[in-house]
Each structure stands twice: as C-alpha cells, then as structure tokens.
Chains A and B, each alone.
Chain A
C-alpha cells in the first residue's frame, strides 16, 4: 500500500495546484480571500434549505420575524406595500429611490424590477462601478433577491455598506422578485433600461 499512498500524495499536490490555477483563470472563479457572507448569522436553522418557512408569502408573521432578524443585524426590511409605494413614487423616477437586484446575471436578465441595478455580490467587480454611484446619490436603496430563503440581498447590502453606502439608506425587500411578480408588478427583461417590460399580471 506504500506505493498507493505515494501516488495519492503526488496526485494531491499536483491536483491542488491545478485546481487553484483552474479557479484563478475561470471567469466564474471565486476570490479566495473575499468574505461572501458578511455578518451572516450563525446557526443551522437559517441554513436548512427547504425547511424554514418562506418569508415571501406575505403573511405579517413571517415578515415580522424576518424584519426583526434583519434589525438585529442593523438592516431594515420593507414589506410589499411599502416597496410598491416607493416604486410608484416620484422619488423613483427622480432616482432618489433605487432598486438593487442581488441575483446572478441569468436571473437578472430573465426579469427584474424595472430600472433595478444588478449587484451580484459574488462578482462585485463586474457591478460595483455602476451600482455604487447610484446608491450613493440615492436617498433610499431597496435591495432584493429571489425571496424565500434567499439571503443574497442581505449579503449584497452588507457589501454595499462596506463600500461606504450608509446602512440607514439600505432596505431589504425580503419578499424579493417572487413576491414582486406574484403581486402583479411589472418586470423588465434583459439589461437595465432595455425597455422590454413584461406586463403586470392582474
């Protein structure tokens, strides 16, 4: 078995080096030193995938518990009526209110809140130059992701605060794009400002 262990050691060293090199050259590679889950709350309950009750369903109880959890992390939550009111307010047209979509490119292109900036915090370099000035100029920044158990909006908001966006400007929409769509709000497909709108569902 000595030969086998020697082989394994060689494969381990060579494989590790090649794996790191492959990650470094891959356009989808991860940065090893980045904290992609800033200030994430520990505890398995938040990470059990399918089991925790979804926060999207629009029940007051689920929203209240999510809002309370976010509050303990220094973040504020908005429910759907508040988000919809902001979207339809003159402040949105004046860019005093901006929306930030924290999902990946594929999901963003498939449909986002019209005019929302994309900020996939797993690839911040691709987005930060565009999204940061908009957030700094705005008075309110609404960050959302898919909704339900999706935590990316929280992490994206955290990363924005690390990039000097004041936390008091940042609002999480826990219902996310799922609730937005379910509540019959319009969606924009393709890049930001494409003008291609999916009609609001009645």
Chain B
C-alpha cells in the first residue's frame, strides 16, 4: 500500500467517524425531546396525516442514531451512508423551502433568516445550515460510493489495489 493510499484510507475513516458521530449527536437531541421534534416536523407542512407525522417524529431520531452507530463501528457503512444521504437530501430541500417561505413572508435577507430546522442543533442561520448540510451530503455520497473502507466488521474489507471506485 502506497503512502497516498494510506492517507486516503485514513481520511475516509475519519470522514466516516465524523458523519457517524454527527448523526448520533443530532439523533439523540431529537430522541430525548420527541415532542419538540414533532412540532418542528409539523411546521414543514410536508405531512398532514397524524400517524405518518408521529412515525417520522418518533422513528427518525432513533434511525439516525442507528445509522450513525453503524458508521462508527463499521457495519454496513456504505449502506448506512446511502441512507443518510437519502435523509439529508430531502431534509435540506425542506429547509430551503421553509427558508424561502420565511424570506418571502418577512422580507428578511435570506442569509439572516434563523430558525430551528428540527435538525437537533436549535436555532441556526439558514445559510450556515444549508452549507453544512451540503458538506454532509458530499461526505455521505462519497462514503456510499467509496469501496475502500478501513476497520469494518461487515462486510469484511476487500481492499482493492487501486483507488478506483465501484463495487
């Protein structure tokens, strides 16, 4: 293994741990106060049916913790990263949509809009949150794509000799 490959593997591992830790932290915040999360999910006006709304508010935080834990311990990391990507993209679009609504309703400059997006970090400036989410989206997309994963329990690593992607 070349030095370049070692650095690449190390960076991928750190990215995986960072994403995993971030999702555990965010998930815990919501799981410990599901009522607040329920109210925030309702504010997005995406779901009207009570059981579906409750299902999202009750299940999503724990699901985030589960995916984060899988990334940390290295079990099905690419599948977990793909699911995190599938959660992040619609949520980021929903945040953008809500920020646009607030922008149109209040006339505030877009980047001065601040609200609790239900992400688990309290009130945030929307531009900062969107930038942050775009970074996490890029990272999770990379982790889902990258076949070289160090310290995984399942599936066992079968490290290719080149940096080429694909499975």
Contacts and interface: CB of A to CB of B under 8 A. Distances in A.
> What's the interface size class on B, roughly?
35 or more
B42 interface: yes
Given A4-B144, A10-B76, A36 B66 contact: no
B35 A122 contact: yes
A35 B43 contact: no
Contact of B76 (A7, A18, A47, A48): A7
| Interface range, A side | 35 or more
A6 B63 CA distance: 17
A95 B45 CA distance: 40
A44 B101 CA distance: 9
A11 B76 contact: yes
Given A20-B59, A51-B105, A3 B78 contact: yes
A14 B114 CA distance: 35
Interface SS, B side: helix
Contact of B48 (A11, A19, A42, A44): A42
Contacts of A12: 83
Interface stretch (B5-13, B26-34, B88-96, B129-137): B26-34
Given A11-B76, A49-B116, A29 B66 contact: no
Interface in B110-149: 114-116, 144-145
Contacts of B76: 7-8, 10-11
Nearest to B86: A8
